[in-house]
Structures are given as structure tokens and as C-alpha cells.
Amino acid sequence: MKKPDSDRPAGFSTRAIHEGYDPASHHGSINPPVYLNATYSFDSIAQGQQRFSGETPGYIYARVGNPTQSVLEERLASLEGGEAAVAVASGMGAITALLWSFVQSGDEIIADKTLYGCTFAFMGEGLSHFGVKVFFVDLTEPDALEAAITPATRFVFFETPTNPNMRVIDIVQVSQLAHAHNARVIVDNTYGTPYLQRPLEYGADFVVHSMTKYLSGHGDLIAGAIIGGADDMLSVRSVGLKHMTGAVLSPFDSFLLLRGIKTLELRMVRHCESALALARQIESHPVVESVYYPGLESHPQYSLACQQMSAFGGMIALELSGGYEAGVRFMDAVQLAQRAVSLGDAETLVQHPASMTHNNYTEEEREVHDISLGLVRISVGLENIEDLSADILQALDQATG
Ligand SMILES: Cc1ncc(COP(=O)(O)O)c(C=O)c1O
């Protein structure tokens, strides 16, 4: 990326638009070309041997890397402040490729008690088939981490803010505690995005993303990413991606992500403004028992959120009085907002974890993990706030029953 005053680091959007790509090397094409190929030819067998042994860099086969994907990876590493990144086919692909690269039977993982449903299933059920033990603790409580950590703990894993109930976890505090016990820290930064929060700068070792969400921003693909140290990312590419999951991202989806990321800052500013305005409006509605939005002074970790996030994101969780039935009435009443899972799109999306994403939890699990029956999640989109708040307020009126 060329820029006139090379001493000043380029700003976030400048990097989101230019990092890792020089049009001059591609016939002046402003957009990176989409390399639609599965394999790469070698000039000679000597060159092939050197690439396979890792002696010289270069492409071999598109399950391991592709030039369009490489531009995306360089851009992601720059935005998260990491040495390197690996882009993969889904957020679940990112979490599994990272852990399969490093964990062994007998290892332990400590995860926060609130996780995206499929991450919970992978941690709680999937890993246990292979002798890896996962302990779910409340990572907002440092004593709980201290009590659970053992010499066998390899990783501490959490989301912040958490999906779906918006708890905020102290990245600096958890990282210091984990490192004191030789465990490494993985933060799922899907909700935060690198525009609002950069966990590696606070001491985390790895960031994972579901790029399906804000990084894409348009709800038109499924993708994931892992960002961390260069040597670790080599292991993730050659073990987690190449051997263990094969979760390769398509070149065309890499292109769409590069396009989406160009407007990440602009979109996040709007998501954050609208979410804060909406959270304030609905806080006083009679059917709303609580609003969980880290930008509200009433949020239990408001001051922590102010320290580690530059703004508070586009996700709101609310607790409706009237439990499961109130949640269902609210969901059925929305008109502009879409009843759908996923998040981070231009369209406002609403979901009811107890009947949708977390319906595989037992009643006891829902209680332990703080997923109540009346919890509703709103992914605040980019529509005009007047239209959006009119829709949500009329749906809350109808939820009253
Ligand atoms: C916080 C979080 N992490 C990971 C995932 C999994 O991502 P994907 O659906 O791209 O596999 C999701 C999906 O909703 C999520 O919300």
C-alpha cells in the first residue's frame, strides 16, 4: 500500500481498502482478481520440491492458499493488529481448525459459560470424543478462572460481548491470568469486529471470527478467520486447514469479503449509533424487564466495555416479561425486521434463542448459561432508525399480551 507520509500509520479504513494489494502489479485493476483455480504449476521439479518443503513461498494447491485469499488474509491481519491470518470457509471452520491444530487428548480447555450454540456443541460434545476436556466457567469472575485452571489447560476461549446475552469479559485480566498458567487465549471477536475492539492488543493470543457477520456485512456468504502469530498461523494452515478440516474459503467469497470490509468502519458507525438509540428507547417499555447493551450505563460491565471497545456494536439482547410466550409474540409481530438467525447484515434480524439457536439446550443448561425463555436478540441493521424503532416498539406492544 503506497501513501504519501509513510511515517504515520495508515488509518483503519485506509487499510481496509488498500492493505495487501497493489493495482500496479495487476494491470491497474482496482479490485484484486479472483483466481478461480484449484492447482498451480511449477517451473521445475526443483521449484515444486522447495514449495512442498516450505523452503520457498508460493502456491501449491488451493486448499492451502489462493492469491485472492492472501490479499484478504493480509488485510485481516493488519486490521486486527496480528502478524498473520488464515481465512477459512466458516466461523465454525475457524474455531475447529485452530483447536485441531494444537490440542491433544488429555488437554483441557476453559471456555466461558455463554457461547454461540454450535461453538458450545463443539466444545461440550465434539472435543470430548477425542479426550479433550472442556470446562465452562463464568469468565466475568476472575476467581472462577483461577479455580478451574490446571497445568493441563492449553486454551481459554471466550466471546466478548457474548452471543446472545451481551456479557462483557475483561480481555486483559483473562489473558494475564491464563498466561501466568501457560495457557493461551482465544477471543471470538465476531460481535466486536476489529473496528471496535482488537483483542491481540489487550494480550489475547488468537482472534477468531465468523466473517459471515459484520466483516462480510451483506449476508451473502459463510466464512471465518483466525488471526495470530506468524508461526502459529503456519501451523493452522498446514494442519488445521489442510489436514484436519479442509475448510477452504472459495476465491469468490474471498473477493466478496474484500468488498465488504472496505465499508466496515462506515457500517459499524451506523450499527453502533442506531443500536444505542434503540436500546435507550426500548429500556423504558413496560414489557421489557432488562436491556443488555454494553453502551447503556445500566449494563453490569459498562465501564469495562468503555475501556476495551471504542463503541458498543450493533447487537442488543432484551429480556421480556412473560417469558417464552412473550418472546414468540414479539417475534411474530415484527414487520420490517426479519425473523432470522445470523447477524451483522444491512437488514435488522431478530431471533429468540430459546426457540431457535439454543433450543438444543436443556432447561438446566439454559439456566447455567443465562439463556432465559424471554430473551430476544436484535441485530440492528442499517435501515433508518425512525422506521426501525417504530417496528420494534409496535412489536413490543404486541408482546405484552
Ligand atoms: C459469535 C459467533 N461465533 C461463531 C459463529 C459461527 O460462525 P459461522 O456460522 O460462520 O460458522 C457464530 C455464528 O453465528 C457466532 O455468532
SS3 32: coil
Q: Provide the 3-class DSSP secondary structure of residue 152.
A: coil
Instruction: Identify the weakest region by mean pLDDT among 112-116, 202-206, 308-312.
Output: 112-116
Distance CA 332, CA 324 (A): 12
Cβ of 212 closer than 6 Å to ligand 1, yes or no, is yes
Closest CA to 258 of 77, 120, 112, 71: 71
Distance 111 CA to ligand 1 centre (A): 15
What CA–CA distance (Å, rounded) separates 217 from 234? 28
In terms of pTM, does the model score above 0.95? yes
Catalytic residue check, 361: no
Q: Which of 187, 184, 185, 179 is nearest to 207 (CA)?
A: 187
Residue 369: pLDDT above 80?
no
15-37: average pLDDT: 97
Radius of gyration of the chain (CA): 22
For residue 400, the CA-to-ligand 1 centroid distance in Å is 31
Q: For the residues 137-145, what does the mean pLDDT come to?
A: 95
Average pLDDT score over residue span 91-97: 98
- Integer angstrom CA distances of residue 259 from 143, 147, 255, 305, 310: 43, 45, 6, 29, 23
Residue 371 has pLDDT above 90, yes or no: no
3 state SS of 209:
strand
SS3 of 43, please?
Answer: coil
Question: Among 395, 219, 220, which Cα is nearest to 318's?
Answer: 395
What pLDDT score does 202 carry? 98
* CA-nearest residue, atom 2 of ligand 1: 116
Q: Would the CA dihedral through 96, 178, 159, 115 be positive or negative?
A: positive
Helix, strand, coil abundance in the chain, percent, nearest 5: 40, 15, 40
Average pLDDT over residues 300-314: 98
In the DSSP assignment, the letter for residue 200 is G
Query: Does ligand 1 come within 6 angstroms of the Cβ of 250?
Result: no
Long-range residue pairs from 25-32, CB within 8 A, at least 24 positions apart, any chain? 31/255, 31/258, 31/259, 32/67, 32/68, 32/71, 32/255, 32/258
Ligand 1 within 6 A of CB of 295: no
The model's pLDDT over 157-166, given as tens digits with 9 standing for 90+, comes to 999 999 989 9
If one residue of 98, 99, 112, 119 were mutated to test the ligand 1 pocket, choosing by the most ligand atoms within 8 A of its CB, it would be 119
Q: Distance, CA 5 to ligand 1 centroid (Å)?
A: 39
pLDDT of residue 168: 98
Cell reading at 334: 415484527
Q: Which residues of 235-254 are buried (b: 16+ CB within 10 A; e: fewer)?
A: bbbebbbbeebebbbbbebb
Percentage of the chain beyond pLDDT 90 is 93
Of 366 and 155, which is predicted with more confidence?
155
Sign of CA dihedral 185, 157, 314, 283: negative
> Which residues have CB under 8 Å from 62's CB, separation 6+?
35, 37, 38, 39, 40, 248, 251
Per the structure block, which three cell numbers stand in for 12?
A: 483503519
**Cell numbers given for 9:** 500509520
Between strands 108-112 and 84-88, the pairing is unpaired
Please tell me if the CB atom of residue 119 comes closer than 6 angstroms to any atom of ligand 1: yes
For 3-23, write each residue's pLDDT tens digit: 777 788 999 999 999 999 999
For this structure, is 242 an active site residue?
Answer: no
Q: Give residue 358's pLDDT.
A: 83
Q: Which three cell numbers stand for residue 213?
A: 457477520
Q: Answer yes or no: are the C-beta atoms of 88 and 247 closer than 8 Å.
A: yes
Check if 159 has its Cβ closer than 6 Å to any atom of ligand 1. yes
Residue 206's DSSP bridge partners are 186
How many Cβ atoms from other residues are within 10 Å of residue 307's Cβ? 12
Mean pLDDT of the chain: 96
**Closest of 120, 139, 240 to residue 183, by C-alpha:** 139
Strand partners, 136: 111
What DSSP assignment string belongs to 98-123? HHHHH--TT-EEEEES---HHHHHII
User: Of 112, 170, 188, 253, which residue is the catalytic one?
Assistant: 188
What percent of the chain has pLDDT above 70? Answer: 100
pLDDT at position 330 over 80: yes
Determine contact, residues 291/274, Cβ cutoff 8 Å.
no
Q: Can you list the domains of the chain with their CATH numbers? A: 12-261 (3.40.640.10), 264-399 (3.90.1150.10)
